[in-house]
Chain A
C-alpha cells in the first residue's frame, strides 16, 4: 500500500509530513532514551528492522494471483509498541524507496503515517484489548495484524481521497477504497493468519524472547502450551 512518488500534489504531501514528523520526533526521543539506558537494545532493534524489511519483500501466497507483500508492521507493533515501530518503519520505507522503488520521498510522510503510525497504533490497541479481555492469544494476534492492515488501507484511501476529491471527499474515498479493496481485504486476512502462525512457531521454539519483550507473560505462555498439549 505504498503511495508512489509524485502521486500526491501539494499541499497534501507537506501536510502528511507535518502530521508524521511529531510522531517520529517522539519515537526518536523514546529511542534515544532507550539506547542510553540499555545499550543492548540498539543491535536488537536493528535486526528487527532488517527483519521487517525482509518480511515485507517476501511474496505472500495469494488466491487472486496478484503479487502481494505483507507489511510486517502489525507484527512489529505487537513486539515493540507503536513509537519504536514508527521509527523502524520510517527507515524501512526509506530503504524500500531506494532499493525496491516502492513509495517515494515526497510521499514518505503520507506512507509513514498510514503504514508506520495509523496501522501499528490500531494493531497495538487491538492486541492490548484482546489480551485484557483474555481472548485466545492467536485469535488476538490475527485480529491485530488484520485490523492494522485494514487501517493502513483505509488511511491510504483517505489520503488519496483528500488529495483528489471528486464531487465530494466522501464519494472519492468510496471509489479509492472500492478499487483497493479487491486486493487489500483478502491480503490483510492472509497476513493476519501468517502472523498468528509465526507467533505459534516462535512460542514453540523460543518463547523466552516474547517474555523478554513483554509481549506475553510467562503465565500466558504456559497456558498456551498446556492448551496445545
Chain B
C-alpha cells in the first residue's frame, strides 16, 4: 500500500521526455496487443516495454518482475474458466472433480493462452506509463484533450488528498495494530470500521478547511498549472518509430 507506482515515476529518467509521445507509444502497444489474433504480438510488446521500463526507466528488474506477476493471478483465474468451458475441438486432457468431468480442448487452450498473453501485453504498457509519467504531468495532457475543467480540477485535488489520507490511514492502522486491534477476526472487524469512519470524518473536516483556505486565496473555479515544454528528440522519435513499425511487422508476419 505504501508502494505507489507514482513514486517510481517521479524518480524515473523517462519523466523528462515528451508526455504525449510516451502515452502514444503505450496506447499503441495496448491496442496492438489486444487486436492481434496471434500470441506473438503481445509477447513482443511485453519484451519491448519491459526493456524500455527497466533499461531506460531504471526500474529495478526484480521489482518489475514482481509487479508483472501480481495482476496475473486474476488473468489466470479467468483463463482457467475459459480453458474448461470454452470451445470445441480435440480433447487434450481431462480429469474429474467431485464426479464432474472437466475437459480442456485445443481451442480452449488457444483462447486461454491468448487471454494471458494479451493481459501481459496490456499490463506491460500500463506499467510503462505508470512508472515513467507522474500523474501531475498527465493533467496538462488531459487539459489539452478538452476534458472539462471541473473534472480535471476534481482529479487534481483528489490526487493531493489521496496522499494526505493514506498517511492518516497508515498511522491510525499502526496505532491500532500496536494496541492489538487486529489480533483476531472480531477485533479487526471493528478496528477496520473505526478506521474508515474516522477517516471519513477527518476527510470531511479537511474538505471544509480546504474550501475556506481556497476561497480566502481567491479561488474562482480555475486552478492554473505549469506545463513544461518538452520537444520530442530525434533519437526517441526514431526509437518509437522502429518500435511501432516492428510491432506491426510482427503481427503481419505471424498472420501470414
A9 contacts which of B34, B195, B197 (Cβ < 8 Å)? Answer: B34
B210 at interface, CB cutoff 8 A: yes
Query: Which residues of chain A from 60 to 114 have any CB-CB distance to chain B below 8 Å in the complex?
Result: 60-61, 63, 87-88, 91-92, 94-95, 97-102, 104-106
Interface pair B214/A43, CB less than 8 Å apart: yes
- Determine the chain B residues whose CB is within 8 A of the CB of A31 once the complex forms: 150-151, 154
Interface pair B27/A105, CB less than 8 Å apart: yes
A211 at interface, CB cutoff 8 A: no
B contacts with A: majority SS: helix
- Determine the chain B residues whose CB is within 8 A of the CB of A53 once the complex forms: 158, 162, 165
Take A43-B210, A54-B165, A87-B154 as given contacts and tell me if A6 and B121 are in contact as well, using a CB distance cutoff of 8 Å.
Answer: yes
Interface pair B189/A194, CB less than 8 Å apart: yes
Interface pair B207/A4, CB less than 8 Å apart: no
A7 at interface, CB cutoff 8 A: yes
Complex interface: stretch among B14-22, B77-85, B242-250: B77-85
Query: Which residues of chain A from 1 to 56 have any CB-CB distance to chain B below 8 Å in the complex?
Result: 2-10, 13, 28, 31-32, 35-36, 39-40, 42-51, 53-55
- Determine the chain B residues whose CB is within 8 A of the CB of A49 once the complex forms: 154, 158, 161
Complex formed: what's the CA distance from A126 to B221 in Å? 35
Complex formed: what's the CA distance from A125 to B71 in Å? 33
Nearest-neighbour CB distance to chain A for B35, whole angstroms, equals: 6
Interface pair B195/A35, CB less than 8 Å apart: no
A160 at interface, CB cutoff 8 A: yes
B200 contacts which of A42, A46, A193, A202 (Cβ < 8 Å)? Answer: A202
Nearest-neighbour CB distance to chain A for B78, whole angstroms, equals: 6
Interface pair A46/B1, CB less than 8 Å apart: no
- Determine the chain B residues whose CB is within 8 A of the CB of A135 once the complex forms: none
B4 at interface, CB cutoff 8 A: yes
Query: Which residues of chain B from 179 to 217 have any CB-CB distance to chain A below 8 Å in the complex?
Result: 182, 185, 188-190, 192-201, 203-204, 206-208, 210-211, 214-215
Interface pair B126/A101, CB less than 8 Å apart: yes
B59 at interface, CB cutoff 8 A: no
- Determine the chain A residues whose CB is within 8 A of the CB of B120 once the complex forms: 6
Interface pair B182/A46, CB less than 8 Å apart: no
- Determine the chain A residues whose CB is within 8 A of the CB of B182 once the complex forms: 61
- Determine the chain B residues whose CB is within 8 A of the CB of A166 once the complex forms: 82, 85-87
B59-80 vs A, CB cutoff 8 Å, 1 = contact: the mask equals: 0000000010011001101101
Nearest-neighbour CB distance to chain B for A120, whole angstroms, equals: 17
A201 at interface, CB cutoff 8 A: yes
A6 contacts which of B30, B160, B166, B196 (Cβ < 8 Å)? Answer: B30
- Determine the chain B residues whose CB is within 8 A of the CB of A8 once the complex forms: 34
Query: Which residues of chain B from 1 to 54 have any CB-CB distance to chain A below 8 Å in the complex?
Result: 1, 4-6, 27, 30-31, 33-35, 42
The closest CB in chain B to the CB of A55 belongs to B196
Take A55-B199, A58-B196, A175-B85 as given contacts and tell me if A46 and B158 are in contact as well, using a CB distance cutoff of 8 Å.
Answer: yes
Interface pair A97/B135, CB less than 8 Å apart: no
Interface pair A39/B221, CB less than 8 Å apart: yes
Complex formed: what's the CA distance from A2 to B11 in Å? 28
Query: Which residues of chain A from 155 to 203 have any CB-CB distance to chain B below 8 Å in the complex?
Result: 160, 164, 166-167, 171-172, 175-176, 179-180, 190, 193-194, 197-202
Interface pair A197/B164, CB less than 8 Å apart: no
Interface pair A28/B78, CB less than 8 Å apart: no
- Determine the chain B residues whose CB is within 8 A of the CB of A105 once the complex forms: 27, 30, 122, 126
Interface pair B123/A104, CB less than 8 Å apart: yes
A206 at interface, CB cutoff 8 A: yes
Q: Which 8 A-B pairs have the closest CB atoms?
A: A6-B122, A5-B122, A46-B157, A197-B193, A201-B197, A50-B161, A47-B207, A6-B118
Q: Name 17 interchain pairs, CB-CB below 8 A, sorted by A.
A: A4-B119, A10-B34, A31-B150, A42-B211, A43-B211, A45-B154, A47-B161, A61-B192, A94-B155, A99-B130, A101-B127, A160-B81, A164-B111, A180-B77, A194-B193, A200-B197, A205-B197
Interface residues of A (CB under 8 A from B): 2-10, 13, 28, 31-32, 35-36, 39-40, 42-51, 53-55, 57-58, 60-61, 63, 87-88, 91-92, 94-95, 97-102, 104-106, 160, 164, 166-167, 171-172, 175-176, 179-180, 190, 193-194, 197-202, 205-206, 209
Extra pairs beyond A7-B78, A102-B71 (20, CB < 8 Å) = A6-B33, A6-B34, A6-B42, A47-B158, A50-B161, A54-B166, A58-B173, A58-B196, A61-B192, A95-B162, A99-B130, A101-B67, A105-B122, A106-B30, A106-B34, A164-B111, A172-B81, A194-B196, A198-B197, A201-B193
